[in-house]
Amino acid sequence: MALDHNTTLNSLGFAKPPSETRVVVAMSGGVDSSVVAAYLADQGYDVVGVTLQLYDHGAALAKKGACCAGIDIHDARRVAEERGFPHYVLDYENIFKDAVIDEFADSYLAGATPVPCIRCNERVKFKELLETAKDLEADCMATGHYIQRKMGPNGPELHSAEDANRDQSYFLFSTTPEQLDYLRFPLGHLPSKDATREMAAQYGLAVADKPDSQDICFVPDGNYASVIEKLRPGAAEPGEIVHSDGRVLGSHDGVIHYTIGQRRGLGIGGLSEPIYVVKLDVDKKQVVVGPKELLATRTIPVREINWLGDEPFTSRKEWHLKVKVRSTRPPREAIIRPLTDTTAEVELLTPEEGISPGQACVFYASEGSRIFGGGWIWRGY
């Protein structure tokens, strides 16, 4: 859209008054998305709040009184009522189960360490919900994620949040250029979570002091294995704990109870050196353990790459960038060698420990805050 020089853009980047700019806000019921909705409503935008019902906690945990999802919907609806904008609850339980929970269970059973929050953003929030926002004739969709969208010479770019402690770029690497064009992240530039809570207090939101959610939403107590067993009965089949040198050291109650890099809780004593889980062999029902140096990895096969660079991914033989292989670790220098448009081999300049299939490998600029996308770590066979 060509603009004349007299036209000023509103804070969401549109050449019209806020009152004529419709924005769908994805509201989880937490403080972040509630602040986004209140802030945009306060600026005079035509705000529509949407909350997704993704799962039934009672069913997920097979116990009564665990309906946190109901509380979250109530909190989101209350914010909408107090700030005077419409609010809808959409039942996405079937979509969520098909797109996120089933794959989580299957990849966990295959010995991987999945990150379902990324799949949820990719397949549910930024796909299904984004289409719904367009159906509602919204100009854009806003979320409470801590990440920044900045306009570059070639269009919108994805950048890390101002507050490195809150940055959610690892979970949003699969955002496509088309989605990025439509999305807005009003909190990404804030210096800290405290600033968000202060805004919530200013708007008088009841959720101002609501604690952050820590666990995966459908595993609220952090017990992955119990959820997997309910989703896939018989998954926890016993087997052997085997040393990398071939010795059988003991037995286990199911591969799903272990993760790569785990040291505690193996139930094996009397060894001269500390041992770690270095491999999960689902087919043989074996948990393979060994010394720490076996965890160090330098070369990582990556697939399903979403590339956010200005030039085509395969236009170079090598990309010298930084990569993050776990959400809690800082980006490290790496060389990314494209194999196809969506696959690559990543060489870490310094080996990392505990890299597991199922985790994401996210690409960052060597200097500055730009994110160049990323892909999924797999075994390479």
Q: 32 a known binding residue?
A: yes
| 344-349, Cβ contacts within 8 angstroms, sequence gap of 24 or more | 344/301, 344/302, 344/305, 344/313, 344/375, 345/299, 345/300, 345/301, 345/302, 346/299, 346/300, 346/301, 346/302, 347/298, 347/299, 347/300, 348/297, 348/298, 348/299, 348/300, 348/323
Q: Where are the beta strands (DSSP E) in the chain?
A: 22-26, 46-53, 87-91, 140-142, 147-152, 155-160, 183-184, 239-243, 248-252, 276-281, 286-290, 296-307, 319-324, 332-338, 344-353, 360-364, 370-377
Residue 103 contacts residue 119 (beta carbons within 8 Å): yes
Q: 270 a known binding residue?
A: no
Q: 169 a known binding residue?
A: no
The answer to whether residue 361 is catalytic is no
Q: 30 a known binding residue?
A: yes
Query: What are the two backbone dihedrals, phi and then psi, of residue 309, each rounded to the nearest 5 degrees?
Result: -80, 170
Residue 113 contacts residue 358 (beta carbons within 8 Å): yes
Query: What are the two backbone dihedrals, phi and then psi, of residue 27, each rounded to the nearest 5 degrees?
Result: -110, 115
> Which tokens is 279 given?
């491999």
Query: What are the two backbone dihedrals, phi and then psi, of residue 260, each rounded to the nearest 5 degrees?
Result: -60, 135
Q: 289 a known binding residue?
A: no
DSSP state of 255: G
For residue 32, give the 3-state DSSP assignment: helix
Q: 144 a known binding residue?
A: yes
> Which tokens is 305 given?
């790459």
Handedness of CA 346, 125, 106, 239 (dihedral sign): positive
For residue 314, give the 3-state DSSP assignment: helix
Q: 225 a known binding residue?
A: no
Distance from the first to the final alpha carbon of the chain:
46
Q: 52 a known binding residue?
A: yes
Interatomic CA distance for residues 275 and 161, integer angstroms: 37
Catalytic residue among 67, 68, 117, 120: 120
Length of the chain: 381
The answer to whether residue 120 is catalytic is yes
DSSP state of 99: I
- Three-state SS sequence of 223-248: CHHHHHHHHCCCCCCCEEEEECCCCE
Catalytic residue among 67, 117, 217, 361: 217
Interatomic CA distance for residues 279 and 261, integer angstroms: 9
Catalytic residues: 120, 217
The annotation places the binding site at 26-33, 52, 144
The annotation places the binding site for ATP at 26-33, 52, 144
